[in-house]
Amino acid sequence: MNAAKANSIRMEFEDNGVLALLSGEHNQYLAHIEKSLDVTLDSFGNSIKISGAGKATKTAQIVIEDLYRRIADGKRDDIDKSMVEDALRWAVNGHQADAVTAGESFDTWKKKIVAKTKGQNDYLKLLRSNEVVFGLGPAGTGKTYMAVARAVEALKKREVERIILSRPAVEAGERLGFLPGDMKEKVDPYLRPLYDALYDMMPADKVDRMLASGEIEIAPLAFMRGRTLTAAHVIIDEAQNTTPVQMKMVLTRLGQDSHMVITGDLSQVDLPAGQPSGLAEAVSLLDNIKGVGIIHLSGQDVVRHPVVARILQAYEAGQKQQNTSK
């Protein structure tokens, strides 16, 4: 492959079969790259010509090189729009997509969970190397999903005896007492994202059996008081809605051979006005403590629809501007 000039790059490939898979049916994957990067891709024979702004053409070249390499290395059956999105995300953020395949992943019963961004890759490393991990970031960054993946892997490998999933039952304008049903029926809607992640990584009948046996336990945060959680992988989700007293209480529940992951988004606190977030306090107090890992994911780590990442980046830029003007 060689670059002809700054805004025009011609790439040549040895395997036309791999190139055809990379291009997609009716060149749909090439069209997606064109639209995402605002470049023009002309394919003929065993070559692709990239035309556009200098930086965009280089980014497109990186995306195509990574996709070609991954397909040629045996992932012919895996090529789909999500693989193209992953390569685009990594290239736009200045990283080779191949770094993902060489990085961290979790092995669950249904599939392997692989990091899709550099931030996620760093998060997965922290989940393996620390007893307590704080995963902070906006919606769509995979902070809860990756935490559940690590918990499921640990249970599958019998590194722990059970998974405990919890979150404070606080939402904007609504409290448990106003919802119908018994405690489980009141709590379940708040814990739906955790259920969804479990069913995505484990056969449904296994999830149901483990919920019935207590190998997987889902409970509101208030039920943690007075307990010692041993041989367990504990996840506290939506922790921005804990009070400082609740956060201290749950952190001190950790017992022998256990790990805890606390996830939350400090820009989405639903506590009453004037009530400080226990997550914010904990992150401030526990920075640089041995055995505690803290990561701040950002809009660059969003793995939902690309427009979600752009929306979050706009909000982050607006917040920075407000902080600067104060």
Question: Which residues, 6+ apart, have CB-to-CB distance to 200 below 8 Å?
Answer: 110, 145
Q: Is 129 helix (H, G, I), strand (E, B) or coil?
A: helix
DSSP H helices, the chain, are: 16-23, 28-37, 54-72, 81-92, 98-101, 118-129, 143-156, 183-187, 192-201, 204-213, 244-251, 278-286, 306-325
Identical fold between 2-100 and 105-325: no
- Enter the tokens of residue 122: 């760093």
- Enter the tokens of residue 285: 């107090």
| Exposure b/e, 70-93, CB count within 10 A at least 16 = b | bbbeeeeeebeeebbbbbbbbbbe
d(CA 307, CA 173): 28
Amino acid at 296: H
Q: Is 11 helix (H, G, I), strand (E, B) or coil?
A: strand
- With DSSP H G I counted as helix, E B as strand and the rest as coil, what are the percentages for the chain, rounded to 5? 50, 20, 30
- Enter the tokens of residue 151: 């918990």
Residue (of 74, 61, 63) closest to 17 by Cα position: 74
* Mean per-residue pLDDT over the chain, rounded: 83
Amino acid at 121: N
Q: For the full predicted model, state whether its pTM sits above 0.95.
A: no
| Exposure b/e, 155-187, CB count within 10 A at least 16 = b | bbeeebebbbbbbbbbeeeeebeeeeeeeeebb
Span 302-320, pLDDT tens digits: 766 666 667 766 776 777 7
Question: Which residues, 6+ apart, have CB-to-CB distance to 83 below 8 Å?
Answer: 67, 70, 75
Instruction: State mean pLDDT over 263-289.
Output: 91
E strand or H helix at 237: none
Write down the CATH number for the domain with range 105-325: 3.40.50.300
Span 179-235, pLDDT tens digits: 555 556 666 677 788 888 999 999 999 999 999 999 999 888 878 888 889 999 999
More confident residue, 143 or 112: 143
Span 169-178, pLDDT tens digits: 765 444 545 5
Map out the domains of the chain as residue ranges.
Answer: 2-100, 105-325
Instruction: Decide: 110 and 202 in contact? Cβ < 8 Å.
Output: yes
Fold of 2-100: Ribosomal Protein S8; Chain: A, domain 1 (3.30.1370)
Span 38-89, pLDDT tens digits: 899 988 888 899 988 888 888 898 889 888 888 887 766 667 777 788 788 7
pLDDT at 10 over 80: yes
